Amino acid sequence: MQSLQHVNQQFALTDKLQFSQNAHGLIIAEITSAQASARISLSGAHLLSWQPADLDTPAIWLSEQANLIPGKSIRGGIPVCWPWFGPHPQDGTLPAHGFARTSQWQVTHSGIANDVITLGFELQSSDSNYPCSARLEYKIGPQLELTLTTHNHGSQALTISEAMHTYFHISDIADIQLQGLNNVAYWDKVSNHPATMTQQQAVQFSAETDRVYINSPQACTIHDPGLKRDIQINKTGSLSTVVWSPWYEKAERMGDLGANNGWRQMVCVESANAFDNTLILAPDQTHTLNVNYQVKKLDDF
């Protein structure tokens, strides 16, 4: 595991990128530039926050009850679900959403150009069933870009599912809509519907929502009149879009979505490859998922 001293010596960038360590030993990259601020935990290569300089509220939501402890999953931010999404396809005893989000990633590189900070991470799987590695590069500025590259080091084909499980900060779940998924087929995990459904209009939220939109390479937009902004989500290398709001009852059961109905100020829109879009990588093949977030202010209504 890279020490705090090592990563600061190797990768710090004057006052724009420094690494800190919390009381639990979690090492966090602290990014502060004229364009944006962000925090990224080395455990899970997990982005905890991102706020462009021209916004007065964060673009990414983090639970007040998030466990910022090495090896623990973190509620909020951008969990990296890899090398499987959801329950393990064969072994239900394994943790949901894979081991990447609770593993210690290695910092590989950092840089700055036009006041946009680049920070790269790598994870070598130690699971013999998954002879593969992941590289994740962040570009942090007025936009946020993530590039997740998987490499199959094995001699057999490898089945991978993945998601950038992003929790976006919103005004209120009942007041937003998700645009761009019209006529897209989806699996409804709440109703366990035996066949796919088809999205008719913009996605609106009035109850627990847990859907995997398939064969959906297209961009989508979180339209948030309450915060007078749209969050635009553009992606390549991702054919699934997962949309999740726990709503009241599940939020109560989960118990770590923040006090005062914190779940109302978040929505997950996840750029993924899952379900029908699970990947099969040939030996030595790589696959790249790229996603870009941009917040656009809306003119006064």
**Interface with ligand TA6 by CB under 6 A: which residues?**
73, 86, 96-97, 165, 189, 210, 242, 244, 268, 270
| Catalytic site residue from 137, 151, 162, 270 | 270
* Beta bridge partner(s), residue 36: 52
CA 191 to chain centre: 24
| Catalytic site residue from 46, 88, 151, 165 | 165
90 phi and psi, to 5 degrees?
Answer: -115, -35
> Least separation, in Å, of the C-beta of 179 and ligand TA6?
20
* Beta bridge partner(s), residue 117: 112, 140
> Least separation, in Å, of the C-beta of 62 and ligand TA6?
13
Amino acid present at 56 = D
- d(C-alpha 99, C-alpha 82), whole Å: 7
| Token representation of residue 299 | 């003119």
* Beta bridge partner(s), residue 197: 186
> Least separation, in Å, of the C-beta of 73 and ligand TA6?
6
- d(C-alpha 28, C-alpha 26), whole Å: 6
Q: Which is nearer to ligand TA6, 96 or 282 (CB)?
A: 96
* Residue whose C-beta lies closest to ligand TA6: 244
Amino acid present at 34 = A
Q: Does the annotation mark 223 as catalytic? A: no
Q: Which is nearer to ligand TA6, 96 or 174 (CB)?
A: 96
> Least separation, in Å, of the C-beta of 53 and ligand TA6?
30
Q: Which is nearer to ligand TA6, 86 or 111 (CB)?
A: 86
Q: Which is nearer to ligand TA6, 17 or 80 (CB)?
A: 80
Q: Does the annotation mark 165 as catalytic? A: yes
Q: Which is nearer to ligand TA6, 130 or 187 (CB)?
A: 187
Q: Which is nearer to ligand TA6, 31 or 268 (CB)?
A: 268
> Least separation, in Å, of the C-beta of 151 and ligand TA6?
24
Determine how β-strand 46-52 pairs with β-strand 80-81.
Answer: unpaired
What secondary structure does DSSP assign to 183-211, as a single string? T-EEEETTTT-SS-EE--SSB--SS-EEE
8 phi and psi, to 5 degrees?
Answer: -70, -40
> Least separation, in Å, of the C-beta of 163 and ligand TA6?
7
- d(C-alpha 18, C-alpha 200), whole Å: 46
Instruction: For residue 246, say if its preceding peptide bond is cis, omega within 30 degrees of 0.
Output: no
- What is each CA distance from 296 to 54, 55, 116, 221, in whole angstroms? 10, 10, 18, 10
Which residues form the catalytic set?
Answer: 165, 270
